[in-house]
Chains A and B, each alone.
Chain A
Amino acid sequence: MNWDTWLPLLIVLSSLLVALVIFVLPEDRSKTRTTLNLGGAALKIVLVGIMVWGVFNGHHYETRLPLLPGLDLVLRADALSMLFVALSAGLWMLTTVYAVGYLEDSPHRSRFFGFFSLCVTATVGVALAGNLITFLLFYELLTLATYPLIVHRGTEAARKAGRTYLIYTLAGGALLLLATIWLYTLTGTLEFTARGFLSTLDSSHHPVLVIIFVLLITGLGVKAAIFPLHGWLPQAMVAPAPVSALLHAVAVVKAGAFGIIRVVYDVFGIEFSASLGVTLPLAIVAAVTIIYASMRALFQDDLKRRLAFSTVSQVSYIILGIAIVGPMATIGGMVHLVHQGVMKITLFFCAGNLAETLGIHKISEMNGVGRRMPWTMAAFTIGAFGMIGAPPLAGFISKWYLGLGALEAGQDWVIFVLAGSSLLNAGYFLPILYVSWFKEPAGSWPAERCFGRYETALALLAPPVITAILALTLGLLASAPFSPLEWARFITTLEYAP
């Protein structure tokens, strides 16, 4: 058995097998289930660690299985995929811990954790996909695996949210499929290649390529929640908190954003995309999304909905970074893929803690909550400041490179978008911080539960604190080796090398 050939598959299987076993596990075997979950997560992290090291040292990992005549299922580790894989693997671990704590004693945990693992499998598959069809495969798997998580509660609202989610994502997937096949008939290959594989096509195909680009971006933009395709995301907030956390920080929206990165860089090639003239409209769409979603967020009283609109806005940073053609902006976009994930998952964990411990769902109920749950709110504060882009947090690093990239590429208008977004971010995050730290508590909380020694259960408290520290560290130690920033630089040298 050749290690290099099977490692990518092993990484995918490490959660797929866990998922399958959990599905058939009886409901009351919660110890076994937790052990399996954490074991799988730990194994994945180890494997990913090995892989990151290998990729850095020039190893080539690739699993190739025949899928159709002429088309293979390819799982390949390149620098870009490692960025996403590492993020998913790391955050899966934390979210699993969190979910175990969150869903303690709730029904249907086997189903939940099964789909949860399946979801991560799909995400890792999306990350490792070596060609467009493999990507598509895992992308759709992700859609399906998240649906049961959204409707997990089984309420009417959950069902409605699930329906909306499916309408959006299935339609998006269909467009993606169409575009993929179209591309295949044009080129006969779908392999992701650094700097794209389309630039050699005859120029008479260029109008078609523009259409394909639009189709691909629309299909992916549904998951990435680009305006006006973002409608499903705030609704999907009815899901349990770990789902929102994973969905919004890692799995779904990131899969969309990651797909857009892949399409722009490894299918079309950034320079070729720019020459087709499709990057500027993409940048404008991203900018509109950023501003629009932030404005919507300002007026949400429901905490998770506000965070959801914030996600819509923040994910478009990634797309903006890609659409501004230039190495600096690329670094900004890619590093934000990780940074946004870490920060947003912190925020969602915290929101979940508030809901689970005190029954707080609305911002107007949060008066003085910082006194009751200082650790949670401290983590929330770090996450929020990160989102605003305050130094030295992770968000600052992303914003820094985005701004630099914009100036470098001569697209000064982006600066105003960034500034406006920062202002709006401050506008919708700081009031939360203010009321939770400085206002007097209203008396009793909506539904308080006692968890003993700490402000809430330890399994709920540790993940957000860890991710908050991570968000701080990612910013402070941005230039340390193997940091996401350094890794994004590494990728960029590959994509822009002459």
Chain B
Amino acid sequence: MEILFYIFGVVAIVAALSVVFQRTPVYSALSLIVVLAALAVIYLLLGAPFIAMVQVIVYAGAIMVLFVLVIMLLNAGHEGPSAHRAKFARWVGPPLLLAFLVEFGVIVWKQYGLTGAASAPALDASPAAIGRLLFKSYILPFEVTSILILVAVLGAVVLAKKQL
């Protein structure tokens, strides 16, 4: 089972690289879908089957479809070279991020070590258990997200509709 984690971890990283470095938005979107799918498999391995399915259904199956549709609709093509002077952030950003990555890696390594297994007593992560927790301890965030979704619907209509 562990080997699957490493396989899909590598898949995720390669696909993420492809998200960042592809010049055609559709390829980036497809790579992102691969990342999402690989992460869904990893969630399965980590004992979160429900979240894995939600990830595929909502993230890969709905959110990314929206991305692909918008890309198709706007016919977003190849990204050309930057027409403007090289931005400051583009030169400073990546080295900073690399430093951040190394730093973070070292700290995580120190804290949890090479072998600190990511395991607790096996949990019941079935949809029923998640639902129970959701509707008992997290009922407020759950209800409040409905306002969030309402705002999103409202916003999509307000911003994208040609004539109200």
Are A and B interaction partners? Answer: no
Interface set of B (CB-CB < 8 Å, partner A): none
Interface set of A (CB-CB < 8 Å, partner B): none
